[in-house]
Each structure stands twice: as structure tokens, then as C-alpha cells.
Amino acid sequence: MDRWRNHHVVQRGNQYPKKLILAAAACTENSEDDDEERTPPPPELRLAWQVEQWGKEAVLGDGAVSANLLARMTAARNVYNAFVSFRAGSDRLADWARANPVYSQIVTNIRRMRQQAND
């Protein structure tokens, strides 16, 4: 009998906190030309980049990585990638949105989140 058939994942806490999402988006808006202080990427995004470049074992070791950390790293990287893509395609926004519907939805949701936070 398959012992994993009835296995359920237990959610612990918010894997995608608003602060992480907004920080990942904010660091994409750093401009090379700005004299203002640059917004640093959140730690989860830095970890995602390091794992992508060097591999999981080199960055996090041989042990298991929590599902929560993996989800947070993935969310931060997806938000970052969506905003980088948005900035690159912003001169033809309608075409970009059609070509990148998932990224478009991410950008739209985060812009809405920012607007709600400012209201």
C-alpha cells in the first residue's frame, strides 16, 4: 500500500507575506542612474539567486530545505522576474501583457497591493 496516498501538507504561517512580495518588486525599481539609496533584495531572493548560480548543496547544504523557504524563494524570484520583464517591455505594454500573461497578472496584483497599502 502506498503510504503517501493519504499524506497532507500542513501549512504553517504565510508563505507569501506582503512584505516579501513588495520588497522583491521594489528592488527591481533600482535604477543605475538614481542617486537615491538602492533598495536591497530580500534575503529569500538573494538565496534564490545563489542557489540558481551555485546549486542547492553549495548554498544550503545537503540537508532538507523547508517547503516554506522554497516557496518564499520561488515567490520572490517570480516577482523579481515579472517586474524585470515588465520594465523591459513597458514601451509596448499591451504586446508585453499578451506575451507574458502570468507576469502581467503578478505585476497587476502587486500594483493593486501597493495602492491598497497607500490608501
The answer to whether residues 19 and 74 touch, using CB atoms and an 8 Å cutoff, is no
Distance CA 79, CA 94 (A): 19
CA 58 to each of CA 39, 50, 102: distance values in angstroms, whole numbers, following the listed order: 26, 9, 31
Distance CA 24, CA 3 (A): 38
Identify the pLDDT of residue 62: 83
Identify the pLDDT of residue 13: 55
Q: Domain boundaries in the chain?
A: 18-28+39-118
Distance CA 61, CA 55 (A): 9
The answer to whether residues 45 and 83 touch, using CB atoms and an 8 Å cutoff, is no
pLDDT by residue (tens digit) across 8-44?
434 445 666 888 999 999 998 875 555 567 788 999 9
Who has greater pLDDT, 16 or 113? 113
Identify the pLDDT of residue 36: 66
Report the predicted TM-score, pTM, of the whole model to 2 decimal places.
0.79
Read off the C-alpha cell for 117.
Answer: 497599502
Read off the C-alpha cell for 35.
Answer: 542617486
